[in-house]
């Protein structure tokens, strides 16, 4: 029987894939996509528990998360534009001027 | 009416005022500060005599002057004055000799056109102040302070002609050697304060009284190092003895005194004959109630004294310079005083202290007169035949020499004889160690007779050996007056304690004994408290008197033996040196003479100790300090610098690296919380 | 634009961290116990329920929920702010925003 545990493992897997993407990708756009993955993993988790406990709050919360994800991507793309302007490319390993 | 004791502080403060006057105004005064010193010392002498007369009337004085640490339920430190028979006597001696030395300095320094005289008179006045304050100190800390100040003045005065190499080096040597002894004195002082909570010399609150009560079981004091009470008191006594040995130039810290003769002769007369070196012996006499509680300490004192008496007398036999003979003689005579104190002869020691101050100062001043006459040439082999040209000096010097050698009826005979007698009877009474001291002292009597008269005959008799001796420089009244005064005193001072005459005839003549016995029982410094029938000497030190030939017989035989030896020594010197052209008979001693001339290589030994033993030790300690201690400190800083350098590399500037760290930390936290919270 | 290439210089710490995180999460989830599942009633419109919840009219729906009106308004404000922020970031010093747009679609 598909219980809540399966959904949780699924969300953990998607989250881990998102974390992997953040930690290893050099392209800033892929970085943003990985962030989206993490947010959606959290969404899966929320909806799974909403069904499990029979409370709609989880699904409403997931909607809000989606809206915020959209807002964040908007800002993120703006930042990528600025990054491209100042560092000539969108490789995240190039800007290291904020060390020491 | 105000008594003598109200003016007691002035005894020491008058010379202090003279010090200030000479230091700041000396250049403007006609005699460069000498008159200020003379006036001050006349005042001190008058006040001291007045105090003496008052004490003779039965009063004594013990008061605090200034408390500089007032402890609550603990020890307090103060400056105070103690005037009892012993200190009153010493005050008169010190003021008198200091006054005569100031007068003599007019002739030795002013008339010889020396430079830097304001400094000289200032230092001499400062010395007088410190010595007088030391004498009437009522507690051990104050005594220590002035002990050190006296040592400082000695350094300043020995090095008076500091621009030459000899005096400045001698001054440093004197200061360092006495300072070495004073280190032990300081430890002993701290120990006494820690044990008894007080350093007072006299009274019911004094530490000798407390120590006596502790040994009698009535009181308890803290002891350290896990020692019993008597053993600890012995340790304290021996520690203070370190300072005494240094200051009174006993073996092994005697090496500074012959070199101290580099200073001007009046300084030698005052400091290194009569007063400063007396400070050590005076301190033991002052604390005698404490030393009597420890037979071991007394034994050490007696042996050191007896050995030094013989040791120094042997070195005086071969010296060629006038002041050197006198310096070794001083060391030897102070050995006698220490022998007396260790042997239970308190009155004898004080008697010898008094007579020695008189005749040794006399001999040094006489030597000064000869030195002026010989244009500052001290070598006795360049003199000769001076007795006709300098009669006052000759007769005074002869009086002093007869006293030194211990020839009847001069002062030295009575005092030295009493020293030896007391040691003898206590030695027969069950302390054989004292007999060894007695033997050494007796042999030294023979040596003393010999070197004293060798000195007299070489200097004054025979034919003049150089041009200076044929036509000596004249001396004036300021030299002759002190010599005359002291010469008369040296002849008659023995009457203050004619113990042998009393024992034989029964007439009461031991005035000094009565004088020292006059201290009130509350002070605890009277002779009967020390050496009387129920005194500390019998109770604690275990000395009893035994007269092998009956009392009268022992006295007469002892006196006869010592007088005989002294006359034998003098007679041998007469045979060898009272000839028109004497030769250096001491050359016949051969290699023994080399040993004696080199002072048994004691100076080389001490330099070796300092250079080859202490210096490597201190270098090792320095290396340890620099490499280990500084190394630890440096290592701490370099470790933190290195660690910081390495940790800094985490800040790569790459966002992904930071995110990696965050993720890893999150994982770690989850694991920890999981285990603690039982999630798994 | 260059064709995508295989990444050869992966940050190894990242791989480890992601895998470790996955491992921990799965370990926690699999060993956790949950009460019995309670689903929603059949036949009730979930979407309508969500709508009611958003406008604080939760009592209009039989489903268990809460009011989210304040959050709704705040999200609206946040989206608006994000839009403005994106435009601000994209603007260059001379005030223009678009950089590759040509008139008439020329390239």
Cβ distance A23 to C25 less than 8 Å, yes or no, reads no
- In angstroms, the CA B248 to CA B237 distance is 16
Residue written as token pair 């560092």 = A87
How confident is residue B495, by pLDDT bands cut at 50, 70 and 90?
A: confident
Q: Give C41's DSSP letter.
A: P
* Chains contacting C (3+ CB pairs below 8 angstroms): A, B
The 10 Å CB-count burial string (b at 16+, else e) for B425-441 is bbbbbebebbbbbbebb
- The residues, any chain, with a CB within 8 Å of residue B668's CB and separated by 6 or more, are none
Residue written as token pair 């001379």 = C94
3-state secondary structure of B69: strand
For B65, phi then psi, to 5°, come to: -100, -45
| Cβ contact B445:B416 at 8 Å | yes
Cβ distance A23 to B648 less than 8 Å, yes or no, reads no
B663, closest residue in chain A (CA to CA): A19
Alpha carbon separation from B46 to B10, B94, B123, B312, B616 (Å, rounded) = 11, 12, 22, 36, 54
- What is the crossing angle of helices B229-247 and B276-286, to 10°? 160
- In angstroms, the CA B309 to CA B302 distance is 10
Cβ distance C20 to B667 less than 8 Å, yes or no, reads yes
- In angstroms, the CA B285 to CA B281 distance is 6
> How far from each other are the two terminal CA atoms of chain B, in whole angstroms?
103
| Cβ contact B493:B355 at 8 Å | yes
| Cβ contact C40:C46 at 8 Å | yes
Identify the contact set of chain A against chain B, taking CB-CB distances under 8 A.
Answer: 19, 22-25, 92-93, 95-100
Query: Mean pLDDT over all residues of chain B?
Result: 88
Say how many CA atoms lie within 13 Å of B388 toward its Cβ. Answer: 9
Cβ distance B654 to A98 less than 8 Å, yes or no, reads no
B451-468 average pLDDT score? 89
Cβ distance B667 to C24 less than 8 Å, yes or no, reads yes
What are the structure tokens assigned to B242, written together? 């370190």
Least confident of B163-172, B511-520, C86-95: C86-95
Is any Cβ of chain C less than 8 angstroms from the Cβ of A17?
A: yes
- The residues, any chain, with a CB within 8 Å of residue B673's CB and separated by 6 or more, are B679
A31, closest residue in chain B (CA to CA): B656
Is any Cβ of chain C less than 8 angstroms from the Cβ of A96?
A: no
- In angstroms, the CA B176 to CA B253 distance is 10
Q: Is A67 exposed, middle or buried (0-12, 13-18, 19+ CB in 10 A)?
A: middle
How confident is residue B513, by pLDDT bands cut at 50, 70 and 90?
A: confident
| Cβ contact B342:B401 at 8 Å | no
What are the structure tokens assigned to C27, written together? 């370990």
- In angstroms, the CA B511 to CA B499 distance is 9
Size of interface A-B (CB pairs under 8 A): 26
Residues of B in contact with C22 (CB under 8 A): none
B523-542 average pLDDT score? 81
How confident is residue B464, by pLDDT bands cut at 50, 70 and 90?
A: confident
Long-range pairs of C72-78 with CB within 8 A, sequence gap ≥ 24:
C75/A64, C75/A67, C75/A68, C78/A67, C78/A68, C78/A71
The sign one gets for the Cα dihedral B17, B20, B24, B26 is positive
Chain segment B611-638, per-residue pLDDT in tens: 888 899 999 999 988 888 888 889 999 9
> How far from each other are the two terminal CA atoms of chain C, in whole angstroms?
15
Residues of A in contact with C37 (CB under 8 A): 3-4, 51-52
For C99, phi then psi, to 5°, come to: -120, -15
B667, closest residue in chain C (CA to CA): C21
Chain segment B423-435, per-residue pLDDT in tens: 998 888 878 888 9
Alpha carbon separation from B214 to B198, B220, B545 (Å, rounded) = 14, 5, 26
Q: What is the pTM of this model?
A: 0.75
A65, closest residue in chain C (CA to CA): C75
Residue A7 above 70 pLDDT? yes
Q: What's the pLDDT score for residue C107? A: 46
Alpha carbon separation from B552 to B350, B365, B421 (Å, rounded) = 23, 38, 11
Nearest to B663 among A19, A92, A99 (CB): A19
Residue C46 above 70 pLDDT? yes
Beta bridge partners of B67: B78
The H or E element spanning position B19 is helix B8-25
Q: How far is A37 from chain C (nearest CA, A)?
A: 13
Residues of B in contact with A100 (CB under 8 A): 648, 651, 653
Q: Give B178's DSSP letter.
A: H
How confident is residue A100, by pLDDT bands cut at 50, 70 and 90?
A: low
* Chains contacting A (3+ CB pairs below 8 angstroms): B, C
A79-93 average pLDDT score? 87
A85, closest residue in chain C (CA to CA): C92
Which ranges in B466-549 belong to alpha helices (H)?
Answer: 467-470, 477-492, 499-505, 511-516, 527-531, 536
Is any Cβ of chain C less than 8 angstroms from the Cβ of A29?
A: no
| Cβ contact B328:B313 at 8 Å | yes
Residue C102 above 60 pLDDT? no
How confident is residue C3, by pLDDT bands cut at 50, 70 and 90?
A: confident
Residue B171 above 50 pLDDT? yes
Q: How far is A95 from chain B (nearest CA, A)?
A: 7
Q: How far is C7 from chain B (nearest CA, A)?
A: 15
- The residues, any chain, with a CB within 8 Å of residue B579's CB and separated by 6 or more, are B462
- In angstroms, the CA B445 to CA C6 distance is 114
User: CA angle, C36 as apex, C31 and C39 as ends, to 5°?
Assistant: 120
Is any Cβ of chain C less than 8 angstroms from the Cβ of A67?
A: yes
For C98, phi then psi, to 5°, come to: -80, 140
Q: What's the pLDDT score for residue C98? A: 64
Q: Give the number of residues written for chain A.
A: 100
- In angstroms, the CA B295 to CA B337 distance is 17
Q: Could you say which residues from 1 to 40 on chain C have a Cβ atom under 8 Å away from some Cβ of chain A?
A: 7, 10-11, 13-15, 17-19, 21-22, 25-26, 29-30, 32, 34, 37-40
Is any Cβ of chain B less than 8 angstroms from the Cβ of C28?
A: yes
Residues of A in contact with C53 (CB under 8 A): 56-57, 60
Q: How far is A66 from chain C (nearest CA, A)?
A: 10
Q: How far is A87 from chain B (nearest CA, A)?
A: 14
Q: What's the pLDDT score for residue B158? A: 93
Alpha carbon separation from B425 to B420, B504, B512, B544 (Å, rounded) = 9, 16, 20, 8
- In angstroms, the CA C40 to CA A47 distance is 12
- The residues, any chain, with a CB within 8 Å of residue B622's CB and separated by 6 or more, are none
Is any Cβ of chain A less than 8 angstroms from the Cβ of B646?
A: no
Chain segment B558-581, per-residue pLDDT in tens: 889 999 999 999 999 998 888 888
Q: Could you say which residues from 53 to 82 on chain C have a Cβ atom under 8 Å away from some Cβ of chain A?
A: 53-54, 61, 63-66, 68, 71, 75, 78-79, 81-82
3-state secondary structure of A44: helix
Q: Give B160's DSSP letter.
A: G
Mutate one of A41, A49, A57 to test the C interface: name it (highest C CB count within 10 A).
Answer: A57
Chain segment A8-66, per-residue pLDDT in tens: 999 999 999 999 999 988 889 999 999 999 999 999 999 999 989 888 899 999 999 99
Mutate one of B659, B667, B670, B680 to test the C interface: name it (highest C CB count within 10 A).
Answer: B667
Cβ distance A96 to B656 less than 8 Å, yes or no, reads no
- The residues, any chain, with a CB within 8 Å of residue B607's CB and separated by 6 or more, are none
Q: How far is C102 from chain A (nearest CA, A)?
A: 19
What are the structure tokens assigned to B219, written together? 């009181």
Cβ distance A23 to B655 less than 8 Å, yes or no, reads no
Q: What's the pLDDT score for residue C99? A: 59
Residue B170 above 60 pLDDT? yes
C97-104 average pLDDT score? 56
* Domain spans, chain A: 4-98
Q: Could you say which residues from 162 to 201 on chain B have a Cβ atom under 8 Å away from some Cβ of chain A?
A: none
Residue B4 above 80 pLDDT? no
- In angstroms, the CA B275 to CA B156 distance is 16
Cβ distance A71 to C50 less than 8 Å, yes or no, reads no
* Radius of gyration of chain A measured on its C-alpha atoms: 17
Cβ distance A97 to B651 less than 8 Å, yes or no, reads no
Beta bridge partners of A44: none
Max CA-CA distance within chain B?
122
Q: Is B76 exposed, middle or buried (0-12, 13-18, 19+ CB in 10 A)?
A: middle
* CATH code assigned to A4-98: 1.10.287.3510
Share of chain B above pLDDT 70, in %: 100
Q: How far is C31 from chain B (nearest CA, A)?
A: 6
What are the structure tokens assigned to B205, written together? 């609150």
CB atoms within 10 A of CB B353: 26
Q: Which residue has the higher pLDDT, B93 or C96?
A: B93
How confident is residue B677, by pLDDT bands cut at 50, 70 and 90?
A: confident
3-state secondary structure of C75: helix
Nearest to B418 by CA among B323, B352, B484: B352
Residue C8 above 50 pLDDT? yes
A18, closest residue in chain C (CA to CA): C18
Residues of C in contact with B664 (CB under 8 A): 13, 16-17, 20
Cβ distance A63 to C50 less than 8 Å, yes or no, reads yes
Residue C104 above 60 pLDDT? no
């Amino acid at each position: 029987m598909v219980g809540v545990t399966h959904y949780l493992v699924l969300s953990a897997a998607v989250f881990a894939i998102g974390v992997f993407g953040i930690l290893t990708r050099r392209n800033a756009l892929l970085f943003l996509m990985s962030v989206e993955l993490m947010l959606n993993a959290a969404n899966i988790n929320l909806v799974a528990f909403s069904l499990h406990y029979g409370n709609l709050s989880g699904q409403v919360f997931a909607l809000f998360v989606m809206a915020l994800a959209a807002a964040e991507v908007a800002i993120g793309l703006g930042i990528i534009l600025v990054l491209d302007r100042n560092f000539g490319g969108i490789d995240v390993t190039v800007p290291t001027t904020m060390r020491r | 009416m105000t008594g003598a004791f109200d003016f007691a502080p002035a005894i020491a403060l008058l010379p202090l005022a003279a010090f200030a006057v000479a230091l700041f105004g000396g250049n403007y005064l006609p005699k460069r500060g000498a008159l200020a010193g003379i006036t001050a010392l006349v005042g001190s002498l008058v006040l001291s005599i007045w105090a003496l007369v008052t004490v003779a009337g039965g009063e004594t004085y013990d008061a605090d002057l200034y408390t500089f640490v007032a402890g609550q339920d603990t020890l307090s430190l103060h400056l105070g004055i103690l005037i009892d028979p012993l200190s009153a006597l010493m005050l008169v001696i010190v003021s008198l000799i200091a006054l005569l030395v100031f007068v003599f300095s007019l002739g030795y320094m002013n008339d010889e056109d020396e430079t830097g005289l304001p400094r000289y008179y200032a230092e001499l006045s400062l010395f007088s102040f410190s010595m007088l304050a030391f004498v009437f100190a009522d507690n051990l800390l104050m005594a220590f302070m002035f002990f050190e100040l006296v040592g400082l003045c000695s350094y300043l005065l020995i090095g008076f002609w500091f621009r030459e190499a000899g005096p400045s080096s001698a001054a440093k040597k004197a200061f360092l050697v006495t300072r070495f002894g004073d280190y032990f004195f300081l430890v002993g002082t701290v120990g006494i304060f820690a044990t008894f909570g007080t350093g007072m010399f006299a009274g019911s609150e004094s530490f000798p009284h407390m120590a006596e009560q502790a040994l009698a079981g009535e009181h308890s004091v803290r002891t350290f190092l896990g020692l019993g009470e008597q053993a600890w008191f012995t340790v304290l006594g021996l520690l203070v003895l370190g300072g005494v040995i240094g200051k009174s130039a006993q073996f092994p810290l005697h090496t500074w005194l012959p070199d101290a003769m580099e200073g001007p002769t009046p300084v030698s007369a005052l400091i290194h004959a009569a007063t400063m070196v007396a400070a050590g012996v005076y301190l033991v006499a002052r604390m005698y109630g404490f030393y009597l509680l420890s037979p071991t300490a007394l034994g050490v004192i007696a042996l050191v004294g007896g050995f030094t008496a013989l040791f120094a007398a042997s070195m005086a036999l071969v010296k060629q310079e006038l002041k050197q003979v006198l310096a070794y003689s001083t060391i030897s005579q102070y050995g006698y005083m220490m022998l007396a104190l260790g042997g239970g002869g308190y009155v004898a020691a004080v008697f010898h202290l008094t007579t020695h101050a008189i005749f040794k100062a006399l001999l040094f001043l006489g030597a000064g007169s000869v030195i002026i006459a010989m244009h500052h040439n001290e070598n006795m082999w360049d003199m000769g035949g001076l007795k006709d040209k300098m009669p006052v000096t000759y007769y005074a010097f002869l009086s002093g020499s007869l006293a030194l050698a211990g020839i009847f009826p001069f002062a030295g005979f009575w005092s030295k004889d009493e020293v030896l007698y007391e040691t003898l009877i206590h030695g027969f009474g069950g302390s054989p160690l004292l007999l060894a001291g007695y033997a050494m002292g007796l042999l030294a009597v023979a040596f003393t007779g010999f070197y004293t008269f060798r000195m007299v005959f070489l200097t004054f008799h025979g034919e003049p050996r150089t041009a200076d001796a044929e036509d000596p420089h004249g001396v004036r009244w300021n030299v002759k007056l002190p010599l005359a005064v002291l010469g008369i005193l040296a002849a008659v001072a023995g009457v203050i304690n004619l113990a042998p005459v009393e024992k034989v005839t029964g007439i009461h003549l031991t005035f000094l004994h009565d004088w020292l016995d006059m201290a009130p029982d509350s002070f605890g410094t009277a002779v009967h408290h020390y050496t009387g029938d129920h005194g500390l000497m019998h109770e604690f030190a275990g000395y009893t008197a035994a007269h092998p030939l009956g009392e009268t017989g022992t006295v007469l035989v002892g006196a006869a033996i010592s007088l005989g030896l002294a006359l034998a020594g003098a007679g041998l010197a007469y045979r060898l040196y009272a000839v028109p052209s004497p030769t250096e008979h001491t050359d016949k001693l051969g290699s023994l003479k080399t040993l004696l001339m080199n002072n048994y290589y004691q100076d080389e030994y001490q330099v070796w100790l300092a250079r080859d033993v202490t210096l490597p030790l201190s270098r090792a300690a320095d290396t340890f300090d620099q490499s280990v201690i500084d190394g630890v400190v440096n290592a701490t800083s370099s470790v933190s610098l290195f660690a910081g350098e390495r940790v800094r590399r985490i800040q790569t500037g790459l966002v992904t690296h930071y995110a990696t760290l965050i993720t890893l930390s999150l994982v770690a936290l989850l694991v920890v919380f999981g285990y603690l919270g039982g999630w798994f | 634009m260059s064709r995508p290439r295989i990444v050869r210089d992966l940050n190894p710490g990242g791989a480890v961290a992601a895998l470790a995180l996955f491992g921990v999460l799965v370990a926690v989830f699999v060993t956790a116990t949950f009460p019995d599942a309670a689903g929603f009633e059949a036949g009730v419109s979930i979407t309508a329920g969500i709508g009611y919840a958003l406008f604080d009219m939760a009592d209009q729906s039989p489903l268990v929920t809460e009011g989210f009106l304040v959050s709704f308004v705040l999200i609206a404000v946040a989206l608006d702010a994000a839009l403005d922020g994106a435009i601000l970031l994209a603007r260059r010093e001379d005030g223009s925003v678009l950089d590759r747009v040509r008139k008439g679609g020329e390239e």
